[in-house]
Amino acid sequence: MAKIIPFKAVRPTRDKVNLVAARSYQSYTKEQLESRLRDNPFSFLHIVNPGYRFDKEISGIERYSLVKNRYLEFKEDAIFVQDSKPCYYVYKIVDRENQEFNGIIAAVSALDYENNRIRKHEDTIAYKEIIFKDYLKTVGFNAEPVLLTYPDNTVIKNIISKKQKERAEYEFTTTYRDTHYLWKVEKPELLKAIETEFESMSHVYIADGHHRSASSYLLYKDCKTENKNHSGQEPYNFFMSYLIPESDLRIHEFNRLVKDLNGLTKEAFLIQLDTVYRIENRGSIPYKPNQKHQFSMYLDGEFYSLHLRKTAYKMTNSLDGLDTQILFKTILEPILGIVDLRNDNRIMYMNGKNDVVNMKSSVDNGDFAVGFGMVPVKIDEMKQIADDGLKMPPKSTFIEPKLRSGITIYEF
């Protein structure tokens, strides 16, 4: 059973939440970051970028300590206040394309992560886990929920729908034209009903946030070892998540761009591809595949369709049938010589939401020699790979919604 509990969130006041909320730090360009830090003193970016005050780049433990100081200042100035009772938080996002995401912000169990009741489909990088664990341990809070998904549930759906008929605690629109809503759930009978429904689920799945989950688990292990009176109820036993039903999840593909043909001529490259794929030249008109095991390729000003030859590739498990794995095992590794998908600087990933036109532009301007597009991974594929204990290649999924930092904060 999955243990999902309410918690006392630290949150911005209603009048400042739109000013506080921020995208992930890494998603801003240098110019965007400078603008927001200069013009908005309430942005959560001031907390995670404390060196701005000193006009200095600060890293490591020194930065972590200053992040904590900025956070405490926001609390002292009553920009942040903490709820007096544990709550679940119904959270809704309506994006600029009018796609709607509805779910619940809650605390989930690190022990469930350990016991695989929170299931993973991506590998994590050990040193990144440790860096973020050390960060969490110093600052003492988590400000961006991990995105989890669960099978559609009628009881939870009805509670969310009923709550959304009330006045929202927050309602604000970002400069990206996404509108965010938040409602507090604090009635004991509703808290119990939600907790019971999640307890009936054997497991839930990480959709986005594998490194944050892994780091929270490492924090739990550290704190458990250091606390001689560990009871299992301390805040460090849990981490903050946004849980949405599977039907609300949106999965896009990541296209692959490679800088060179690994010393091959165009003709030699196409000949090697022909042993594994049926190749058709589609000309200069953008082409996007519409079926699994089919790929688009852009090379030297022309699009190609690649259809996997069934006799040329064996599928023995759920990972073998994943298109990103097929592309890796049939082209990227054996022909283009890319072995390390995470660290080889010859490959770049571009989310497919931006379409193949951007892939074309990146090749046409000379930054890359070839680009590959594919259809998005299905939720059932993602779940099956997680159930089988396997891991997808990096950048197999671009998942929405993308969450804002600083709207609800979990302290431990």
pLDDT in tens, 26-47: 888 889 999 999 999 999 999 9
Two tokens at 133?
């664990």
114, 260: one domain: no
Two tokens at 404?
């804002």
383 falls within a domain: no
pLDDT of residue 1: 81
356 falls within a domain: yes
C-alpha span between 91 and 78 (Å, rounded): 23
pLDDT of residue 123: 87
Structural domain of residue 297, as residue ranges? 254-375
298 falls within a domain: yes
- Sorted by sequence, the CB contacts under 8 Å of residue 160 that are 6+ apart come out as 90, 102, 103, 104
User: What is the maximum alpha-carbon separation in the chain?
Assistant: 69
pLDDT of residue 56: 84
221 falls within a domain: yes
Q: What is the CATH number of the domain that holds 367?
A: 3.30.1760
258, 172: one domain: no
What's phi and psi for 67, nearest 5 deg? -60, -45
300, 324: one domain: yes
38, 162: one domain: yes
- pLDDT tens digits along 340-385: 998 899 999 998 876 788 899 999 999 999 999 999 999 999 999 9
386 falls within a domain: no
Q: If DSSP states are collapsed to H, E and C, what string results for the chain?
A: CCCEECECCEEECCCCHHHHCECCHHHCCHHHHHHHHHHCCCCCHHHHCHHHHHCCCCCHHHHHHHHHHHHHHHHHCCCEEECCCCEEEEEEEECCCCCEEEEEEEEEEHHHHHCCCEECCECCCHHHHHHHHHHHHHHCEECCCEEEEECCCHHHHHHHHHHCCCCCCEEEECCCCCEEEEEEECCHHHHHHHHHHHHCCCCEEEEECHHHHHHHHHHHHHHHHHCCCCCCCCHHHEEEEEEEEHHHCEEECEEEEECCCCCCCHHHHHHHHHCCEEEEEEECCCCCCCCCCEEEEEECCEEEEEEECHHHCCCCCCCCCCHHHHHHHHHHCCCCCCCCCCCCCCEEEEEHHHHHHHHHHHHHCCCCCEEEECCCCCHHHHHHHHHCCCCECCCCCEEECCCCECCCEEEC
355 falls within a domain: yes
231, 271: one domain: no
112, 247: one domain: yes
Residue 86 has pLDDT above 80, yes or no: yes
- pLDDT tens digits along 177-201: 999 999 999 999 999 999 999 999 9
CB of 142 closer than 8 Å to CB of 239: yes
- pLDDT tens digits along 334-348: 999 999 998 899 999
Number of domains in the chain: 2
38 falls within a domain: yes
284, 405: one domain: no
pLDDT of residue 165: 98
237 falls within a domain: yes
261, 163: one domain: no
Could you give the C-alpha distances from 380 to 76, 377, 385, 394, in angstroms and in order? 46, 8, 9, 18
pLDDT of residue 149: 98
242, 281: one domain: no
181, 42: one domain: yes
210, 346: one domain: no
Confidence of residue 74 (pLDDT cuts 50, 70, 90): very high
18, 141: one domain: yes
- pLDDT tens digits along 237-264: 999 999 999 999 999 999 999 999 999 9
Mean pLDDT of 5-16: 98
Mean pLDDT of 138-157: 97
pLDDT of residue 198: 98
pLDDT of residue 250: 95
Two tokens at 396?
């197999």
Confidence of residue 57 (pLDDT cuts 50, 70, 90): confident
